Amino acid sequence: MTDATALRMGTPAGRWVLATTVLGSGIVMIDSTVVNVALERIGGELGAGFTGLQWTVNAYALTLAALILLGGSLGDHLGRRRVFLIGVIWFAAASALCGLAPDIGTLIAARALQGVGGALLTPGSLALISASFHGADRAAAIGAWSGLGGVAGAIGPFLGGWLVEWSWRAIFLINVPLAALIVVIALRHVPESRDTEAAAGLDVAGTVLATLGLGATTYGLTGLGERGAAVDLVVALVVGVLALAAFVVVERRSPHPLVPPSLFADKVFTAINIATLLIYGALGVVFFLLVLELQTVAGFSPLEAGTAILPVTVIMLLLSARSGALAGRIGPRLQLVVGPLISAAGLLLLLRIDQNATWLGHVLPAVVVFGLGLAATVAPLTSTVLDAAPDRYAGSASGVNNAVARAAGLLSVAVIPGLAGITGTAYADAGVFDSGFRMAIVICAALLVLAAVVALVTVRRRTEAVPSDRIRIEECMHCGVSAPQTLPRSAERTP
């Protein structure tokens, strides 16, 4: 399956591979969320409207969601280290362009390029571990990778808030020296590997259609709230829907599809991905709007706003593996019903935030309850997806679930603010933004309740036992907040 020599945890060679992959995935994870802390300063300095801020977030999410499955396939065919390094260098160049952007249009374009780099290096980071370590060492390495990645996610908003106090451009420029370090370590210490059993060819047509479908749909939905049913927006929506429909047709006929159609023959797999769409749609909007609410309405500094959401990631980091183990013993259904309901309650507590809000009295209780609900939900959500898929498709199932989660955040950020009345320069008006924020939070809470209903109706009380080697790996993979961790396609076949 691979031309890499198996490494051992605790050895110098193993540590170098682990450090490289953690740093690589870490910069992508941080840039998925850290920009939210800087949006208020970006809008003020570049004179951007709210639509511009939406695209600053969504341009990155769009290319990352559309290309992440292709990035994994490229690594399998061309060499995982090679594609990983290309992704790191691409990401650094795009980050520099973000940091030097003279206007919002340039920043949005650079963020889209950042997402391309992220799509190349993200699947490669975990695939390198999967190819370099075997057996118990692989499970331990994935656990360490996930845990350290969780730490990166936890410090991201705090680091971003601190950097934004100096300049919002610093949150992008700091990636350049980090990327240079990653390249040096990878060239010296990371072995090359590829999947010699991978099907010949790449699903280029599927990738183009997925990108066009998501891009056109996002463009249309983003503009509806501010411009109404303008001709170009309607055309974009029609093109997007047709492209996504064509994507389904192409995947059914492709000899090497990005998304194996047989996966969706399982009703539980389909239902859990619907629940994923609802849950991560709510998450995307909450993390997008909350830091703006805290700065615009409550008067928090960027550093204070970034720190405010830190407890969510810390709770996920501490409890998600235990949540996964519990779901393995009692079945996932209870947690998939109760967890989203707890998170919805946490969101409703955010409605207490106003111009007199304090972190300890208003923000902390809400984010703690929200985080506890997520900790109960995310691990069984991902493990249920894997359990519903045949063993040979474990990597594909994980990748699909990750892409669904990222697309959910992309589409929800495009739609929900407009539905809530947040358009134009509303983010600069405390009264208007506060009203829209409250409506958006209620919509997100409703999405979480709907996800609980989907789980209640579709998930069995107990699922069949998962093989112990997959349990050990899966229990280590559930610290991510922006999206579930992706099991590499190499996991589809037993080494």
3-state secondary structure of 7: strand
- 272/279 Cα distance (integer angstroms): 10
Provide the pLDDT confidence category of residue 164 given band limits of 50, 70 and 90: confident
Provide the pLDDT confidence category of residue 199 given band limits of 50, 70 and 90: low
Predicted local confidence at residue 482, as pLDDT: 66
Predicted local confidence at residue 221, as pLDDT: 86
Residues 262-294 pLDDT 10s: 778 788 888 999 999 999 999 989 988 998 899
* Residue found under tokens 């977030």: 57
Q: Which two tokens stand for residue 367?
A: 């984010």
DSSP-assigned beta bridge partners for residue 277: none
Q: Which of 66-70, 279-283, 431-435 has the lowest mean pLDDT?
A: 66-70
Predicted local confidence at residue 177, as pLDDT: 93
Q: Is the pLDDT of residue 394 over 70?
A: no
- 360/456 Cα distance (integer angstroms): 34
Q: Which two tokens stand for residue 413?
A: 């950020």
Provide the pLDDT confidence category of residue 184 given band limits of 50, 70 and 90: very high
Predicted local confidence at residue 403, as pLDDT: 82
- 491/382 Cα distance (integer angstroms): 15
Angle at 399 between CA 481 and CA 284, to 5 degrees: 30
- 196: which DSSP letter? T
Between 351 and 198, the more confident residue is 351
Predicted local confidence at residue 460, as pLDDT: 74
DSSP letters spanning 324-345: HHHHHHH-SHHHHHHHHHHHHH
Neighbours of 212 (CB within 10 A): 18
* Terminal-residue alpha carbon distance, the chain: 6
What number is the average pLDDT over the span 296-302? 88
Q: Which of 121-130, 183-192, 340-349, 373-382 has the lowest mean pLDDT?
A: 121-130
Contacts of 207 (CB under 8 A, 6+ apart): 66, 67, 69, 70, 258
Contact 415, 219 (CB under 8 A): no
* Residue found under tokens 């894997």: 386
Q: Which of 315-329, 358-372, 385-399 has the lowest mean pLDDT?
A: 385-399
Between 422 and 274, the more confident residue is 274
DSSP-assigned beta bridge partners for residue 112: none
Report which of 233, 329, 216, 268 is spatially closest to residue 459, judged by C-alpha positions.
Answer: 268
Q: Is the pLDDT of residue 104 over 50?
A: yes
Residues 318-363 pLDDT 10s: 887 788 788 878 888 899 999 999 999 999 999 999 888 888 889 9
* Residue found under tokens 């060492």: 137
Looking at the chain, the number of H-run helices and the number of E-run strands are 17, 0
Between 60 and 395, the more confident residue is 60
- 449/343 Cα distance (integer angstroms): 9
Provide the pLDDT confidence category of residue 492 given band limits of 50, 70 and 90: low
What number is the average pLDDT over the span 477-494? 56
Q: Which of 93-102, 295-304, 324-333, 407-416 has the lowest mean pLDDT?
A: 324-333
What number is the average pLDDT over the span 222-230? 75
- 122/26 Cα distance (integer angstroms): 9
